[in-house]
A and B are shown apart, each in its own frame.
Chain A
């Protein structure tokens, strides 16, 4: 009997050969075999894919148990590549295999997250919210459009985050990094391809597995903000500095005035120092205020939540006490939250067919209150041998998921995280009646209570149903010649009812409650047909040919409807019909695209030494006009197994050494579906006008909505890769090294059109060029430490990319700006710099005296010198263009969001039944534009401020100040500058896991073949200097939105990563 040493389960399909004979056989479903052994031939050669081969001497034994150990030498694997499979040792392109078993040790919602830190050259960004987006970038940024890779799951292509696909069903995962490997996927492969195969049944008796983990997550770190007293003190200081004349930073009375002017504030009074009141609503009231009279039952006489009453604010109030110490709003919106996952699987099979069925339930509650993600999925993968030469099978997953995100989404100034720093500390969470407190009182600014915002959003559930899978048939036509046809479907159904409850406690309360309902559906089908021919041309030449066709059809339709003025907020009343019909609005539309392709690939291996691989694909896309629709994507690669050469044979320590060189082209077509067309549309909000003067109706009009560009053609990425694969020291060390260069030409870019042309969607035009160059190094080692019982394995990877925009529109000074909210754009894409470089003013410290300030080039002043910003305590803006004055023309490229390198390290230590896994991942050398500082470090709006502003603002004599003198009317210091830039480097211990395999003797008594328990900690340690919530924001979006990559590296208060503790159990029967 042959068993898999990793889990002591039977190993079917292992090959046995009696040494020196042609006699052999294959193990059955239970891993069993029987052989009659000729005399003198008592050595068995045992081999199985993925395991280290063995020679076993039989001797006189009649019953033999052989335990196979997994082969860590990745070079011996068979990997799934485009439309087929290939032995890893024969691969000549840059293909990385993800150790799925290791990767899935870290709980993830989706498959993209499992890639983080696992593969050299792959960068992954998360939005960290449960069920949120991820962003995957392979080998840098090859386009200004969508840089996310293509996923091929059981042959069916898809893009995006794929939360609805259960990652626990994954069997293998490969990343095709360069064009020679990926070009068989042609036009959609420009940014790499991730190939995923889900778990299939194996011949053998039914195997039942149950895997579960349960854990708790909590906030790692909040922001350091002010308490009520500090807030009031800083407010006073900055108001006094603004209202009086500053002489070397000291407030002195204005001309004609005898004393200093002091602030007046509805809460803190009007004295020389602020006084914290007992109540904030009524404004600044003391506890003895007659308006705060109480009823005999202790309730307040003048409490009222009828904010529309004429008495409100005059005699009636949402009575609210001051939080004199200060509310820690981060503490209020975050709380520990559970996470759990259950995976139940049954698999098995016989000669007639194989099956694998699984059920998964995943539930991650958000560390932000009232957010969460829940998923139910069922997968059934089957394959049947319906005739000797015919196999029919299917892979299908059906999932249903529900997500409650934070209101207004991630990275948004109106979401709950932003309000946690935008709301003043004096405001409590609840008012005296236990209702939510807010900014309704005087001088409390306009933030919304973030706890209220989260609570009111808790029933706004985004629901998604997805069917994903394919059916296929394979026919063996001749020996080595197989035909396959596969029809795949990706069907999505989406629904949400988004109900907004009035925030009556806010200074800017919504006028009414409202409901928006959305129903969307969409499908993509993919039909491909291949012919595969595998043949050995003589003893030393192996050949593999693939040819095929593929067609893809996509359709998407949406419908939205809204009403407001609901009589009651009850959850059973939150349907359109309960709203006021007079307020009804709606919208709906659709889009589609198609792709038709033919492809061919040929692979040859000569003497197991010389490897050649050639690919060609033709794509035709509906996204281009008929004249420009067709493109060809060729690739050629070669390998030389130099270790097979005689001159290498003598070298000790080198088991296998292969040199690779690859060239190829891939494309990109992510430019929207209708780029060629000039489009006119009609829209009540932008093209209707009340020509009749009716006040309550508008006449329909049309407007130009898209200019269109029928001349656009394919964007092409040409890549070059040189690599080395080596196995050293008797399989102890595997090394993979790659140098790559990717050049994107004819890059499609929506050139900003001068507005004299009117306003319409700018079409994509083929203008720009980019290069990405870099190196990647992956190391794997492992083994036993003597006979101590200790085993170890270490996997490490490190990679770099250097991104450069080599051309925009041909003019070096052309700047394409990215992100802008309240600040001018802080990213620019310009020739000669990396994409989305940071842009703004260069600061050179702080003026220590008025004299020094006057001597410097005037900042933002009029030609006659008036309006000069410079004074003691103000930032020193650098006169970059040397024209003797500081103006917008002095903005320049000030930083880089791209890292010097990224890395990951996975360590496994085993001792007897114990196993310890450590996984760390990091980036080094990138910068983050910490936009949150706009709100917390400068006098913008009236929200809370950072302790940095409190302690590190300039005061006379404070030469080490980081921020300018606080002045409430200072609108200049907050301009985008180097002040916002911080190092984004971090090293994060993503996973620590200690597992224990229950001894076989115990397990077998209860019918178990395997039982493992583990404890696990995620994100327990982060080494970083970044002061924001989380440095892991470099890739900030799912990438599905065009243009996101022009604004990377900006932190708007992104959802922070959670620290997680888990307990898990894996059982196999």
Chain B
């Protein structure tokens, strides 16, 4: 036989040099965007989920793992701080974000070789790819702290050792540089809503500053976003959690979900949350990610409509724990922040447009996970068929709003407290509370009356001091963004994770026996361990390039 007989080419795929042109670069950039949902990198969907429901919410005082005790025990370990470096969830998250980094770098490498693109076109691609690369690294940074930064000069897909980079450097400067480049080069508006804009980059950059307590650098960015006039708060709080109001006026950067789009299993829907649905009613699976009693209590307000940051957890909002759905139950009658019932599904209150939540019948195992269900990532009954996947409605197109204007207000309030004016901070917090107080936005019963005793008001008197202001803004963060995957990372950046979570677990143990004896170890549990398999695989000439975080 001649040698040509032995030349066979791979089918239905392309080689690298097919992408050195405008269209090809576009394909790779879309591929880099497509990992924003954290799914598709070959990992189990919830391990890398973009909304960080495990690492940001279950790990905090907002939520329990839920479901039954023996299902997905590795999430339980994270919940009660029995954290081992071989827990497969960490590797899943690591995998998702670093695959995003690699895909961003694929696009950055291709754009340099493209010959049919103008410099302006190239800059636009570079700015988006560097924003994505900055975002993915940011995710790694807040999870694992000491992580390697991989840029397009380091990365070489044909050399499998090319990215064996040490994790002994603080990569904040690299993240800042990527986001700054994006901020400097992106347009204020993109015709395609899913693409990042200048202001999306500004918000992400400002957030990165906040994680370093660089309030002075962050403040002008947040001010510029507000001053741009491109964004406004939605009149109704709930519009931040509905598929039909995706990409609304409040949205600064959203992670896009789509359904019935050719993906055979509905994978572009919110697959990272696939476990997190009631065990009855709207769906049949799988009963994970249940709000904690502590979180529900946090929504209690006083007679002035203000939160109770020190005493909220002294007495519980009445729950239907242990009460059969067929037995009578009277919901709590005390004053509550109306955002509670946009955040938590609880017995006796309308569950979106699915009717009154019947309690235990929709909960997989109250004994393990408590009586509550999440709400924000759910789909409406009216979404079924249009915004849900035909094969499995849990996979739906209700976007995850990663950054919205309300974030910017509260971040700016934090900046003002640290480097500006307490009064301005109060104004910004009040902007958020004012919207929450809009009675049009309350959850209502069929007769049009509010579903519970909603009382929420603005802070009418100046904060006593910085500490009081901090308490107020931090509590407002919790109320506004509960069950959105931010809480744990906020507690860490505020430096109050250990005391908050130790108090939480000690108290919550009376309801959730698995918290018995659980402890948050200060100086260790603020960051997750570098996945042990990654350390093993990082060897160059027998020596590991990655080092484990302290305490693990």
Q: Which residues of A line the B interface, CB within 8 A?
A: 239, 242-243, 245, 254, 263-266, 270, 282-283, 310, 313-314, 442-443, 445-446, 506-512, 514, 549, 551, 553, 562, 564-565, 580, 582-583, 585, 587-596, 620-622, 626, 629, 673-674, 677-682, 684-708, 751-760, 762-763, 809-811, 813-815, 817, 820, 824, 860, 862-864, 866-868, 887-888, 891, 938-942, 968-969, 971-972, 974
Q: Please give me the residue from chain B that is nearest to A621 by CB atom.
A: B6
6 tightest Cβ-Cβ pairs between the two chains A and B: A758-B102, A701-B30, A693-B193, A866-B519, A686-B40, A596-B1
Contact check: which of A680, A695, A863 meets B15 at CB < 8 Å? A680
5 extra interface residue pairs, beta carbon distance < 8 Å, beyond A242-B513, A580-B390, A702-B24: A507-B285, A508-B284, A588-B12, A707-B158, A867-B80
Q: Which of B14, B243, B246, B546 has the most CB of A within 10 A?
A: B14
Number of A-B residue pairs at CB separation under 8 A: 357
CB distance from B281 to the nearest CB of A (A): 8
User: Quick check: is B370 within 8 A (CB to CB) of the other chain?
Assistant: no
* A754-B164, A756-B150 known; A862-B267 Cβ under 8 A: no
Q: Please give me the residue from chain B that is nearest to A674 by CB atom.
A: B10
List chain B residues, Cβ under 8 A from A564.
390-391
CB atoms of A594 and B262 under 8 A apart? no
CB atoms of A971 and B366 under 8 A apart? no
List chain B residues, Cβ under 8 A from A887.
84
Contact check: which of A514, A701, A754, A817 meets B34 at CB < 8 Å? A701
List chain B residues, Cβ under 8 A from A682.
27
Q: Which of A582, A751, A888 has the most CB of B within 10 A?
A: A888
Contact check: which of A596, A693, A757, A972 meets B157 at CB < 8 Å? A757
CB atoms of B194 and A690 under 8 A apart? yes
- Tell me the bound Cα distance from A587 to B12 in angstroms: 11
Q: How large is the interface on B (under 10, 10 to 19, 20 to 34, 35 or more residues)?
A: 35 or more
CB atoms of B256 and A689 under 8 A apart? yes
Instruction: Show 26 residue pairs from A and B whose CB-CB distance is below 8 angstroms, ordered by the A residue.
Output: A243-B367, A313-B361, A314-B358, A507-B279, A585-B262, A591-B11, A594-B6, A689-B34, A691-B195, A693-B256, A698-B258, A701-B27, A701-B29, A701-B33, A702-B24, A704-B157, A755-B99, A756-B165, A758-B157, A760-B157, A817-B533, A866-B517, A888-B84, A941-B71, A969-B69, A971-B69
List chain B residues, Cβ under 8 A from A866.
517-519, 521
User: Quick check: is B64 within 8 A (CB to CB) of the other chain?
Assistant: no
Contact pattern, B 373-406, Cβ under 8 Å of A = 1, otherwise 0? 0000000000000110011111001010000000
CB distance from A766 to the nearest CB of B (A): 14
CB atoms of B261 and A696 under 8 A apart? yes
CB atoms of A703 and B86 under 8 A apart? no
- Tell me the bound Cα distance from A679 to B265 in angstroms: 24
User: Quick check: is B539 within 8 A (CB to CB) of the other chain?
Assistant: yes
CB distance from B165 to the nearest CB of A (A): 7
Contact pattern, B 169-206, Cβ under 8 Å of A = 1, otherwise 0? 00000000000000000000000111100000000000
Contact pattern, B 349-381, Cβ under 8 Å of A = 1, otherwise 0? 000000100101100011110000000000000
Contact check: which of B28, B36, B260, B516 meets A582 at CB < 8 Å? B260
- Tell me the bound Cα distance from A270 to B367 in angstroms: 11
Contact check: which of B267, B286, B360 meets A442 at CB < 8 Å? B360
Contact check: which of A585, A680, A755, A820 meets B14 at CB < 8 Å? A680
List chain A residues, Cβ under 8 A from B12.
588-590, 681
List chain A residues, Cβ under 8 A from B537.
752-755
Q: Which of B95, B148, B324, B367 has the most CB of A within 10 A?
A: B367
CB atoms of A751 and B13 under 8 A apart? no
CB atoms of B256 and A690 under 8 A apart? yes
- Tell me the bound Cα distance from A688 to B399 in angstroms: 15
Contact check: which of A263, A508, A684, A863 meets B268 at CB < 8 Å? A684
List chain B residues, Cβ under 8 A from A696.
258-261, 386-387, 397
- Tell me the bound Cα distance from A286 to B192 in angstroms: 59
Q: Please give me the residue from chain B that is nearest to A695 by CB atom.
A: B397
- Tell me the bound Cα distance from A177 to B463 in angstroms: 85
- Tell me the bound Cα distance from A440 to B192 in angstroms: 44
* A685-B40, A696-B261 known; A620-B7 Cβ under 8 A: no
Q: Which residues of B line the A interface, CB within 8 A?
A: 1, 3, 5-8, 10-16, 18-19, 24, 27-34, 36, 40-43, 68-71, 73, 76-77, 80-82, 84-86, 88, 91, 94-95, 98-99, 101-103, 105-106, 148, 150, 155, 157-158, 160, 162-165, 192-195, 243, 246-247, 254, 256-265, 267-268, 279-280, 284-286, 322, 324, 326, 355, 358, 360-361, 365-368, 386-387, 390-394, 397, 399, 510, 513-514, 516-519, 521, 524, 532-534, 536-539, 542, 546, 551
Q: Please give me the residue from chain A that is nearest to B1 by CB atom.
A: A596
List chain A residues, Cβ under 8 A from B533.
752, 817
* A239-B367, A862-B519 known; A810-B98 Cβ under 8 A: no
Q: Please give me the residue from chain A that is nearest to B69 by CB atom.
A: A969
CB atoms of B6 and A596 under 8 A apart? yes
CB atoms of A594 and B5 under 8 A apart? yes
CB atoms of A582 and B30 under 8 A apart? no
- Tell me the bound Cα distance from A758 to B101 in angstroms: 7
Q: Please give me the residue from chain A that is nearest to B163 by CB atom.
A: A756
CB atoms of B246 and A693 under 8 A apart? yes
CB atoms of B101 and A756 under 8 A apart? yes
Q: Please give me the residue from chain B that is nearest to A943 by CB atom.
A: B70
CB atoms of A622 and B264 under 8 A apart? no
- Tell me the bound Cα distance from A295 to B134 in angstroms: 67
List chain A residues, Cβ under 8 A from B367.
239, 243, 263-265
List chain B residues, Cβ under 8 A from A694.
258
CB atoms of A593 and B365 under 8 A apart? no
- Tell me the bound Cα distance from A705 to B279 in angstroms: 36
CB distance from A488 to the nearest CB of B (A): 16
CB atoms of B34 and A310 under 8 A apart? no
* A681-B14, A691-B33, A696-B259 known; A702-B27 Cβ under 8 A: yes
CB atoms of B8 and A673 under 8 A apart? yes
Q: Which of A313, A446, A974 has the most CB of B within 10 A?
A: A446
Q: Which of A565, A691, A815 has the most CB of B within 10 A?
A: A691
CB distance from B70 to the nearest CB of A (A): 4
List chain A residues, Cβ under 8 A from B88.
820, 824
CB distance from B362 to the nearest CB of A (A): 9
- Tell me the bound Cα distance from A1001 to B77 in angstroms: 80
CB distance from B535 to the nearest CB of A (A): 9
Contact check: which of B14, B285, B532 meets A679 at CB < 8 Å? B14
CB distance from A153 to the nearest CB of B (A): 23
List chain B residues, Cβ under 8 A from A590.
11-12
- Tell me the bound Cα distance from A514 to B264 in angstroms: 11
CB atoms of A810 and B542 under 8 A apart? yes
List chain A residues, Cβ under 8 A from B24.
702
CB atoms of B257 and A690 under 8 A apart? yes
List chain B residues, Cβ under 8 A from A620.
1, 3, 6
Q: Which of A596, A814, A862 has the most CB of B within 10 A?
A: A862
List chain A residues, Cβ under 8 A from B536.
813-815
Contact check: which of B148, B360, B524 meets A756 at CB < 8 Å? B148
List chain A residues, Cβ under 8 A from B10.
591, 673-674, 677, 679
Q: Please give me the residue from chain A that is nearest to B72 by CB atom.
A: A822
CB atoms of B150 and A684 under 8 A apart? no
Q: Please give me the residue from chain B that is nearest to A682 by CB atom.
A: B27
List chain B residues, Cβ under 8 A from A755.
91, 94-95, 98-99, 534, 537
- Tell me the bound Cα distance from A314 to B325 in angstroms: 9
List chain A residues, Cβ under 8 A from B27.
682, 700-702
List chain A residues, Cβ under 8 A from B80.
867
List chain B residues, Cβ under 8 A from A860.
82, 84
- Tell me the bound Cα distance from A716 to B246 in angstroms: 58
List chain A residues, Cβ under 8 A from B81.
862, 867
List chain B residues, Cβ under 8 A from A699.
30
CB atoms of B1 and A551 under 8 A apart? yes
Contact check: which of A594, A695, A763 meets B258 at CB < 8 Å? A695
List chain B residues, Cβ under 8 A from A243.
367, 513
List chain A residues, Cβ under 8 A from B162.
757
* A239-B367, A596-B1, A703-B103 known; A693-B68 Cβ under 8 A: no
